[in-house]
């Protein structure tokens, strides 16, 4: 199979390329290399690399020619710095996806299309009130966060809400710019599938970590930020009270999920997660344990308004539809991540 991987020189895209080439697939990568001075060493030699971005019609035309499947990973990720980043996110993620889909349309592509989405499309996760059952957490208020009131409350009675696993049919509720662009990526890709007959699968990644993550930048994941601090001999700074709950999934498991989606017939969205939830504080402590004489994590009480409190996936549909279950356990994955190379 000949597969195009957009963003294939990046963290997740590179892992997908390694898994595809290892099993004998032909891989074409379209990547601007904006985050690299040269093609990264972790990209397999057999990959056909086209240097260009999703605004380059010529590069896109060359990239989609003759491919049997497309794995769309290219995106601007993370929360960014502030709302001033909005145009960059929309240009890279919304317009970039639209340009890719137009190039596929012009080529009459009807093969398999797998797109990278994210848990952030859900906004806050699923919650239950002891009296009223399922409840939607309201958008966070600055006054509550300033006072250290981080846990969401029932909008009807004010009782503390307990989180529950989020299924794929949960309402979409993006609460930051990146999340809004990921919802649009899903919608545009689904529309392309309806118009063209292509089979489209959106993979909603939860917190991905592993080798070749980018180092500490405003767009890096929390695992990379903590790892960078520990390498510098500094304590990881844990926001809020450290009790935010997430699902941390290893990049090799995410790559395996992409291969399962490329090989399968499932059309729709699937959570891609480990099924083993932990708090951000747990993750900081596990990562610090992998460093000799590392300073203990510091809980700061700081917050970012665009963050969410708890979002934990149900992995059941991915198991049923794709045959995918994560293999890397939290403890072993974090121990390895303490030594993994970063970008």
Give the model confidence (pLDDT) of 255-294 as tens digits.
999 999 999 999 999 999 999 999 999 999 999 999 988 9
Query: pLDDT at position 217, please?
Result: 61
CA–CA separation, 168 vs 154, rounded Å?
22
Rounded to an integer, the average pLDDT of 245-251 is: 95
Number of domains in the chain: 2
Does residue 160 share a domain with residue 170?
no
Instruction: Answer yes or no: is 222 within a domain.
Output: no
Same domain for 155 and 194: no
C-beta atoms surrounding 334 within 10 Å: 26
Q: How confident is the model at residue 83, as a pLDDT? A: 85
Report whether pLDDT(106) > 90. yes
In the chain, what percentage of residues exceed pLDDT 70? 98
Strand order in the sheet with 199-205: 48-51, 26-31, 2-6, 69-72, 112-118, 199-205, 268-272
Ramachandran class of 100: left when φ > 0, alpha when ψ lies in -120 to 50, beta otherwise? alpha
Q: Are strands 162-164 and 126-129 parallel, antiparallel or unpaired?
A: antiparallel
What CATH number corresponds to the domain at position 63? 3.40.50.720
pLDDT for residue 238? 96
Q: What's the mean pLDDT in 41-51?
A: 92
Same domain for 170 and 158: no
Mean pLDDT throughout 12-26? 97
**Same-domain status, 75 and 134:** no
Domain match, 192 and 55 both: yes
Quick check: 252 pLDDT over 70?
A: yes
Task: Report pLDDT for 260.
Answer: 98
* Whether residues 64 and 131 fall in one domain: no
For the chain, the average pLDDT equals 93
Asked whether residue 206 falls in the same domain as residue 116, the answer is yes
User: Quick one: pLDDT band at residue 84, thresholds 50, 70, 90?
Assistant: confident
Are 160 and 66 in contact by the 8 Å Cβ rule? The answer is no
Reported confidence tier of residue 306, pLDDT bands at 50, 70, 90 = confident
Are 26 and 152 in a shared domain? no
**Stretch among 32-41, 43-52, 63-72, 111-120 having the lowest mean pLDDT:** 32-41
Q: Which domain holds residue 72?
A: 2-124+166-210+248-276+312-327
Do 135 and 266 lie in one domain? The reply is no
> Could you read off the pLDDT of 199-243 as tens digits, one per residue?
999 999 999 999 998 876 655 678 889 999 999 999 999 999 999
Residue 318 pLDDT > 90, yes or no?
yes
Phi, psi of 282 (to 5 degrees): -60, -45
Question: Does 23 map to a domain?
Answer: yes
Does some domain include residue 200? yes
Q: What is the mean pLDDT of residues 148-167?
A: 94
In a domain, 233, yes or no: no
pLDDT band at 79 (very low <50, low <70, confident <90, very high): low
At residue 55, what are phi and psi to the nearest 5 degrees? -95, 0
Q: Are residue 197 and residue 48 in the same domain, yes or no? A: yes
Least confident of 29-38, 75-84, 237-246, 277-286: 75-84
- pLDDT computed for residue 82 by the predictor: 80
């Amino acid at each position: 199979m000949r597969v195009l991987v957009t963003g294939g020189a990046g963290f997740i895209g590179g892992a997908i390329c390694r898994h595809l080439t290892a099993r004998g697939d032909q891989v074409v990568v379209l990547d601007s290399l904006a985050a690299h001075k040269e093609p990264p060493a972790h990209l397999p030699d057999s990959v056909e690399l086209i240097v260009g971005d999703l605004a380059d019609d010529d590069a896109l035309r060359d990239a989609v020619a003759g491919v049997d499947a497309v794995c769309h990973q290219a995106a601007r990720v993370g929360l960014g710095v502030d709302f001033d980043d909005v145009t960059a996110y929309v240009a890279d993620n919304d317009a970039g996806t639209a340009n890719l889909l137009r190039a596929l349309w012009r080529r009459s592509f009807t093969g398999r299309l797998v797109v990278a989405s994210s848990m952030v499309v859900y906004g806050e996760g699923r919650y239950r009130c002891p009296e009223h059952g399922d409840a939607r957490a309201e958008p966070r208020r600055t006054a509550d966060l300033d006072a250290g009131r981080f846990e969401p409350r029932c909008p009807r009675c004010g009782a503390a809400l307990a989180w529950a696993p989020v299924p794929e049919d949960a309402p979409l509720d993006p609460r930051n710019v990146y999340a809004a662009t990921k919802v649009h990526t899903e919608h545009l890709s689904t529309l392309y599938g309806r118009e063209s007959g292509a089979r489209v699968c959106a993979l909603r990644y939860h917190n991905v970590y592993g080798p070749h993550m980018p180092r500490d930048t405003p767009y890096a994941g929390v695992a990379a930020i903590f790892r960078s601090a520990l390498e510098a001999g500094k304590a990881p700074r844990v926001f809020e009270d450290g009790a935010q709950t997430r699902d941390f999934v290893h990049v090799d498991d995410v790559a395996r999920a992409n291969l399962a989606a490329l090989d399968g017939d499932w059309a729709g969205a699937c959570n891609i997660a480990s099924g083993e939830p932990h708090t951000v504080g747990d993750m900081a402590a596990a990562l610090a344990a992998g460093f000799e004489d590392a300073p203990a994590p510091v809980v700061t009480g700081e917050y970012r308004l665009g963050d969410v409190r708890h979002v934990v996936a149900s992995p059941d549909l991915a198991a049923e539809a794709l045959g995918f279950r994560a293999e890397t356990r939290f403890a072993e994955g974090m121990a390895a991540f303490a030594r993994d190379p970063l970008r």
